[in-house]
Amino acid sequence: MKKSIFAVLVLMMALILMTTGCGNPSDSSDPSKTMRPQGADVGNDDTYRDVFKENKVIDISVTLKNEYYNEMMAAPEAEQFYSADINVAGEKVYNVGFRTTGATDFVGTSEASLEKYSYKVRFDKYVDKQKYLKLDEMVLINCYKDPSYMREYLSYLAYKSLDSKYAPLATYATLKINGKDCGLYLCIECIEDAYLNRVMNNNDNNLYKASEGATLESLSSVSLFEQKNGQNETKTDLNAFLEVLHAMPMGSKGDIETVLNVDSALQFIAVNAVVGNYDGYLGKNAKDYYLASNGTQFIVVPWDMNESFGAGNKDNGVTATISTDTPVYRVDMSERPLISKLLAVPEYKTKYDSYVAKLIEFMSGISAEIDKIDTLIGSYVQKDQQSFYGYDQYLINIGKSTGENTTGYIALSEYASIRADFLKSSGEQ
Per residue in 7-42, pLDDT tens? 434 344 444 334 333 333 334 444 433 344 445 565
195 contacts 82 by C-beta, under 8 angstroms: no
pLDDT score of 12: 46
Is the pTM value of this prediction over 0.75? yes
Backbone angles phi, psi at 412, to 5 degrees: -55, -50
pLDDT score of 314: 85
CA atoms within 13 A on the CB side of 239: 6
Contacts of 392 (CB under 8 A, 6+ apart): 401, 403
pLDDT score of 44: 44
Burial (Cβ within 10 Å: 0-12, 13-18, ≥19) of residue 294: middle
What would the 3-class secondary structure string for 223-268 be? HHEEEEECCCCCCHHHHHHHHHHHHCCCCCCCCHHHCECHHHHHHH
Per residue in 90-148, pLDDT tens? 999 999 999 999 876 666 666 666 789 999 999 999 999 999 999 999 999 999 999 99
Contacts of 223 (CB under 8 A, 6+ apart): none
Residue 318 to residue 59: CA distance in whole angstroms? 37
pLDDT score of 32: 35
Residue 207 to residue 134: CA distance in whole angstroms? 19
Contacts of 317 (CB under 8 A, 6+ apart): 310, 410, 414, 415, 418
Q: What is the pLDDT along the chain (429 residues), one digit of tens a residue?
A: 433 444 434 344 444 334 333 333 334 444 433 344 445 565 544 479 888 988 899 999 999 999 999 999 999 999 999 999 999 999 999 999 999 998 766 666 666 667 899 999 999 999 999 999 999 999 999 999 999 999 999 999 999 999 999 999 999 999 999 999 999 999 999 999 999 999 999 999 999 999 999 999 999 999 999 999 998 899 999 999 999 999 999 999 999 999 999 999 999 999 999 999 999 999 999 999 999 999 999 999 999 999 999 999 889 999 999 999 999 999 999 999 999 999 999 999 999 999 999 999 999 999 999 999 999 999 999 999 999 999 999 999 999 999 999 999 999 999 999 999 999 998 765
| Distances, alpha carbon 367 to alpha carbons 170, 260, 363, 371, in Å | 20, 35, 8, 6
Residue 71 gets the label, from left (phi > 0), alpha (psi -120 to 50) or beta, of alpha
- Which residue type does 399 have? G
Query: Three-state DSSP class for 188?
Result: strand
